[in-house]
Amino acid sequence: MKSSNPVFARSAEFNGRGGAIANDPSQWQVDLNGSPTHTQPGTGRMTIDSVVEKTAITLGLLVVAAAVTWFAIGDVIDPTTGEAVMGKAATFAMAGALIGFVLAMVNSFKKVVSPALVLAYAVFEGVFIGAFSKVIAAYVGETSIVFQAVLGTVVAFAGTLAAYKFFNIQVTDKFRKVMMISGFAIVGVLLINMVLSLTGVFESGGLRGFNTLGLLVSCALVVYATFCLILDFDYAEKGIQAGLPERESWRVAFGLTVTLVWIYIEILRILAILRGD
């Protein structure tokens, strides 16, 4: 089961190197009826319950970290001038984003998933989300935009999951290849855009500005991230069918968290642009 998703590509189990034990006759035993059965050498196999449990823990920790960060930053509006002071929020956001990115890369390229690193990613990404949300809320002048972005993310997740199950969406190798190539292209373009923005070439943020161009880019990224959810669901389903070790549930939880965070950020940006002056 070869994967083109970087979150799963380094997993020995997801790439077919962990399934040999299931076909090894030495791991079989005979039940009372005389039929051979497989011995489960690990602590268990990945199930829908284990995926839901690990994903809930990961997202729950992220939400807690985001809420703590939000309240730790406090009011960003200067009472004397009435203007927003973003220094503290920006520091939290940059620190959370940087450390979260490093942990995301480590988790993506580890062959054996580490629950501790997945949870660490959730914490620092939560710090980024909390600070970034505070900045955007101050930009538009209302905190309700955060709850609307959360609702939009939940709707995107639920709608995609429903479509995947009820319309029996099948993920083909061609679709995976297109998504992989598109993903590398998106990362490359966004990195170039960031460098050009930091060096002053793009004064308004270029593709990530709070303008019409930025709105179109964020809408396109929401569509792409939604397709990533389909890949996440497919990997989880294939992993359960293949009887992967239960620890791989953490890898699926990590992949889903990365995608949902991305969708939330883009929806928040879209709402901010639509409400901006």
What does each of the 277 residues of the chain score in pLDDT, given as a tens digit?
Answer: 444 455 555 455 555 544 433 433 333 333 434 443 343 444 689 999 999 999 999 999 999 999 999 999 988 776 666 566 678 888 999 999 999 999 999 999 888 999 999 999 999 999 999 999 999 998 888 899 999 999 999 999 999 999 999 998 889 999 999 999 999 999 999 999 989 888 888 777 888 888 999 999 999 999 999 999 999 999 999 999 999 999 999 999 999 999 999 999 999 999 999 987 5
Tell me the one-letter amino acid at 73.
I
Residues 183 and 108: their CA atoms lie apart, in Å, by 14
Q: Which pLDDT belongs to residue 213? A: 92
Q: Specify whether the CB–CB gap between 84 and 77 falls below 8 A.
A: yes
- ∠ Cα 97 224 117 (to 5°): 35
Helix (H) or strand (E) holding 29: strand 28-30
Q: Which pLDDT belongs to residue 231? A: 95
CA dist 160 to 28, 194, 223, Å?
39, 30, 11
Which of 164, 143, 89, 121 lies closest to 275, judged by CA? 143
Which of 2, 11, 26, 54 lies closest to 244, judged by CA? 11
Report the C-alpha dihedral over residues 77, 265, 156, 244, rounded to 10 degrees: -130
Q: Specify whether the CB–CB gap between 117 and 106 falls below 8 A.
A: yes
Residues 170 and 162: their CA atoms lie apart, in Å, by 13
Is the pTM here over 0.85, yes or no?
no
Q: Specify whether the CB–CB gap between 265 and 132 falls below 8 A.
A: yes
Token couple for 262 = 């991305």
Residues 100 and 69: their CA atoms lie apart, in Å, by 14
Q: Which pLDDT belongs to residue 95? A: 95
Q: Which pLDDT belongs to residue 87? A: 82
